[in-house]
Structure 1
Amino acid sequence: MVNSGSTSPKSKLLRWWEALAPISRLLAIALAAPLIVLNAWAFSNIFGYFQSLFVVLLIASLFAFLLNYPVSWLESKGMRRTQAAILVFFTALLLLLVLCVTLVPLAFSQAQQFVVRLPEWVDSGQRQLVFFNERVDTWGLPISLDGLIAQIGTRLKGEVQNIAGQVLNLALNLTVVTVVRLLDVLLIVVSTFYLLQHCNEIWVSLIEWLPSRVQQPFSETLRLSFQNYFIGQVIVATCMATGLTSVFLLLKFPFGLLFGLTIGLMALVPFGGSVGIVLVTLLMALRDIGVALQMLAVSAIVQQIVENGIAPRILGRVTGLNPFWVFVSILTGARVGNVLGVVVAVPTAVVIKEALVAVRATRQGEDNVAPETSVTVEREFVTEAEPAIGE
């Protein structure tokens, strides 16, 4: 009697799924899987066809998202939105041009010099290993580095030089592609300027397509996820690049500008700063193990100050994701969208995580509501039956 009167607030789709027999569920999954794969393939082809447009819009959206914070701050001081957008846009464009004219040529020049001197560094690393191997023999330890020394002398030298050359050629190709595809660059600039002025209206027009009850939570979650991630990574990367470059130049490390900027750029991606420090230290160890240890110590100190002292005070917890899932999201983003996929992978993972948490909370709420509903129905049934019993 009680079960027939109780009602569950579960969705129709969930009730339909629970009503199916196990064999019917397997058949439904077997029929749905090919459709899902086909849809994924179709979306992949559509994305490949409009990839250039998507890349332009995505880069412009990221730039507009970052520049929107100083624009909002100027608005809070009484400046009109259009005036604030124009001021911030042209200031950022001027700063970007100054960086391209000053730091980029210097870093590129050091990169060319580094590629030329890299074979000498490999020879120096080989000599250091020979000296260390002689000391080990003197100490009587059962360790032999003859094989490693031979590998460095034959294979490593060529491989390292090839990798350095490929990186340099990649930088040249990116520069050439950027110059050649001036139309895409112009579209990014114009789109950024337009989005910076009308981002609120555009975002509201997109959010209106969602159900009304999820519009505000989705908008807030997406904004906070991208805000915390991008602002956090930009702050970390800027502080790392500025701090390391200043310290490297002050201590007169070889190629200090190139190595400091490289670590800073790699710090734009989670775990990238640590990978950059290890890579630069290994390269410096080929030239001088003592200087490499000094560089490692200085880099570790600066990294700890930035990641544990500066960034948390400004933003607090950046993503809220477990480091393992951050790593998985980065690999997935790299596989799906290359560099841009890496850029948006972590905030997208945060949004997915928050959506799953919300769905789980809704399911738990439904499970908790069902027993209360049954008890209420039972009490109503007993209350209605009491006069009949008394009569």
Structure 2
Amino acid sequence: MTWWDSLNPSSRLLAIALAAPLTVLNAWALSKIFGYFQSLFIILLTSSLLAFLLNYPVRWFEKRGLKQGQAAVLVFLVAILLVSGLGVTLLPLVLTQAQQLIARLPEWLDSGRQQLLTLDDRVNAIGLPINLDGLAEQLNAQLIRELQLITRQALNLTLSLTVFTVVRTLDVLLTIVLTFYLVQNSPIIWRSLIQWLPTRLQIPFSQTLQSSFQNYFFGQVISATCMGLGLTSVFLLLKVPFGLLFGLTIGFMALVPFGGSVGIATVTLLVALQNFGLAFQVLAVALIVQQIVENFIAPRVLGTVTGLNPFWVFVSLLAGARVGGLLGIVVAVPIAVVIKEILIAVRSSHHGDSSSHPPLPPAIETVEKVDEKRLQSSGVSGQE
């Protein structure tokens, strides 16, 4: 920063002009490296995220007297049992409803066309200058093309599912093993990584990264779970066709910012093909549940989840999707929060803000103390 302040405006412009192509070249090189080692990066990142989430119940059990290794084994086994139970009980029902939906889509498309024609007759009887006949024909043709595309993709997915399972079995096993290892040794591994940073940045970076990922993931998981369970229950009470599939689909899409709104719109359009009145009920109920979850439940549990402007959330999601696909979307927002906090810290230090960093929140401070006790009990120093 001192060097930058010593430059005149023309020198600064020249420095930016020289740095810009080098930055683009480095980004291109990193993208090529990521593409070459994509499978390895996905395994490492997925294992790290799973270990990050499982580490919280491990610490909860540690506070109640269990040793770190015993707590890690217990939490890991419980997580595997829960996932296996959901896969055996809930997943077959969802897949069955998805197959039934695809089979009934032609019938729903014809029903939607008939409803538009009926609405067109009523509009003409009133005397309004609106013609819905052409809209019905265009909508019907477009939906038929989309249906054919979805059917082909579903068939291709069914045919390649066996091959995918065989090929990716090793990756899944590696992810499980690596997750278990990270859950057991995460404090030591994390300390060895942040020691590469300057000393004055280690604690602020660790605090910011942990709090941003914690708030984001737990906020999204809580919101998605509440929306999925709430909408599924309401849809079943309203006797919405494929209510289980629709409710869980919206809940799953709510794991990503703006995903819940997209899921609600998609489900509403599908239900509207069969019954306009029921579609309005679905839309109203879904919006009410969404507002309750986003404005009352999630903020009360974790407060502000990201602290980012919605515009930057959207930009980070697009960038994450372009770089890393689905996994990039998952980690895009918390990484953007970390970048934002780093830029704020750099700007504060640049303006001569010599104030110390704010104290750690109680949860994070407790975590740091637990990690320190782990290292002391295991006889491993920070340098090691």
One-letter amino acid matched to 1:247 = V
Q: Tell me the distance in 2 between the aligned counterparts of 1:311 and 1:244.
A: 16
Q: Tell me the distance in 2 between the aligned counterparts of 1:64 and 1:34.
A: 37
Counterpart in the other structure of 1:314? 301
In the alignment, does 2:204 pair up with 1:214? no
Change (3 A) 1:248 1:230: same
In the alignment, does 2:13 pair up with 1:19? no
Q: 2:47 aligns with which of 60, 63, 69?
A: 60
Q: 2:239 aligns with which of 247, 252, 260?
A: 252
Once the two structures are TM-superposed, the CA of residue 99 in structure 1 deviates from its matched residue by 0.7
Residue 181 of structure 1 aligns to a residue in which SS?
A: helix
Once the two structures are TM-superposed, the CA of residue 49 in structure 1 deviates from its matched residue by 1.4
Counterpart in the other structure of 2:111? 124
One-letter amino acid matched to 1:99 = L
Once the two structures are TM-superposed, the CA of residue 162 in structure 1 deviates from its matched residue by 2.0
Q: 2:68 aligns with which of 81, 85, 92?
A: 81
One-letter amino acid matched to 1:243 = G
Q: Tell me the distance in 2 between the aligned counterparts of 1:228 and 1:178.
A: 33
Counterpart in the other structure of 1:332? 319
Q: Deviations over 1:104-147 (max 9, x none)?
A: 11111111110010011110000000000000110001111121
Change (3 A) 1:69 1:151: same
Calculate percent identity across the aligned residue pairs. 66
Counterpart in the other structure of 2:340? 353
What TM-score, normalized to structure 1? 0.86
Once the two structures are TM-superposed, the CA of residue 151 in structure 1 deviates from its matched residue by 0.9
Once the two structures are TM-superposed, the CA of residue 244 in structure 1 deviates from its matched residue by 1.2
Once the two structures are TM-superposed, the CA of residue 81 in structure 1 deviates from its matched residue by 0.5
One-letter amino acid matched to 1:81 = Q
Q: Deviations over 1:147-189 (max 9, x none)?
A: 1112133332222342365367447746752443111000000
One-letter amino acid matched to 2:176 = V
Once the two structures are TM-superposed, the CA of residue 261 in structure 1 deviates from its matched residue by 1.0
Q: 1:154 aligns with which of 135, 138, 141?
A: 141
Identify which range, 26-35 or 99-108, moves more after superposition. 26-35
Q: Tell me the distance in 2 between the aligned counterparts of 1:168 and 1:257.
A: 22
Counterpart in the other structure of 1:72? 59
Q: Tell me the distance in 2 between the aligned counterparts of 1:170 and 1:106.
A: 18
Q: Tell me the distance in 2 between the aligned counterparts of 1:192 and 1:98.
A: 20
Once the two structures are TM-superposed, the CA of residue 39 in structure 1 deviates from its matched residue by 1.8
Are the equivalent residues in 2 in contact too, given 1:111–1:168 (CA < 8 A)?
no
Q: Give the structure, 1 or 2, with the largest relative contact order (CA under 8 Å, sep 6 or more).
A: 1
Are the equivalent residues in 2 in contact too, given 1:330–1:342 (CA < 8 A)?
yes
Once the two structures are TM-superposed, the CA of residue 356 in structure 1 deviates from its matched residue by 1.1
Q: Tell me the distance in 2 between the aligned counterparts of 1:58 and 1:115.
A: 34
Residue 209 of structure 1 aligns to a residue in which SS?
A: coil
Q: Deviations over 1:219-278 (max 9, x none)?
A: 000000000000111111111111111221222210011101110110000111111011
Q: Tell me the distance in 2 between the aligned counterparts of 1:36 and 1:326.
A: 23
Q: Tell me the distance in 1 between the aligned counterparts of 2:193 and 2:158.
A: 37
Are the equivalent residues in 2 in contact too, given 1:122–1:152 (CA < 8 A)?
no
In the alignment, does 2:187 pair up with 1:200? yes
Q: Tell me the distance in 1 between the aligned counterparts of 2:48 and 2:159.
A: 26
Change (3 A) 1:70 1:218: same
Residue 351 of structure 2 aligns to a residue in which SS?
A: helix
Q: 2:19 aligns with which of 23, 27, 32?
A: 32
Change (3 A) 1:311 1:184: same
In the alignment, does 2:259 pair up with 1:269? no
Residue 239 of structure 2 aligns to a residue in which SS?
A: coil
Identify which range, 144-153 or 160-169, moves more after superposition. 160-169
Which structure has the bigger radius of gyration? Answer: 1
Q: Tell me the distance in 1 between the aligned counterparts of 2:129 and 2:50.
A: 58
One-letter amino acid matched to 1:14 = W
One-letter amino acid matched to 1:287 = Q
Q: Tell me the distance in 2 between the aligned counterparts of 1:328 and 1:174.
A: 33
Counterpart in the other structure of 2:95? 108
Counterpart in the other structure of 1:372? none
* Number of equivalenced pairs: 355
Alpha-carbon RMSD across the aligned residues, in angstroms, is 2.0
Q: Deviations over 1:11-31 (max 9, x none)?
A: 44324xx33561x44443333
The runs of 5 or more residues in structure 1 that have no matched partner are 1-10, 368-391
Q: Tell me the distance in 2 between the aligned counterparts of 1:163 and 1:204.
A: 47
Q: Tell me the distance in 1 between the aligned counterparts of 2:284 and 2:300.
A: 24
Q: Tell me the distance in 1 between the aligned counterparts of 2:155 and 2:349.
A: 52
One-letter amino acid matched to 2:145 = G
Counterpart in the other structure of 2:268? 281
Q: Following superposition, which runs of at least 4 residues in structure 1 exceed 4 angstroms of deviation?
A: 167-176
Once the two structures are TM-superposed, the CA of residue 199 in structure 1 deviates from its matched residue by 0.5
One-letter amino acid matched to 2:7 = A
Residue 320 of structure 1 aligns to a residue in which SS?
A: coil
Residue 255 of structure 2 aligns to a residue in which SS?
A: coil
What TM-score, normalized to structure 2? 0.88
Change (3 A) 1:298 1:169: farther
Q: Deviations over 1:60-107 (max 9, x none)?
A: 011000111110111111111100000000100010011111111111
Q: Tell me the distance in 2 between the aligned counterparts of 1:164 and 1:353.
A: 43
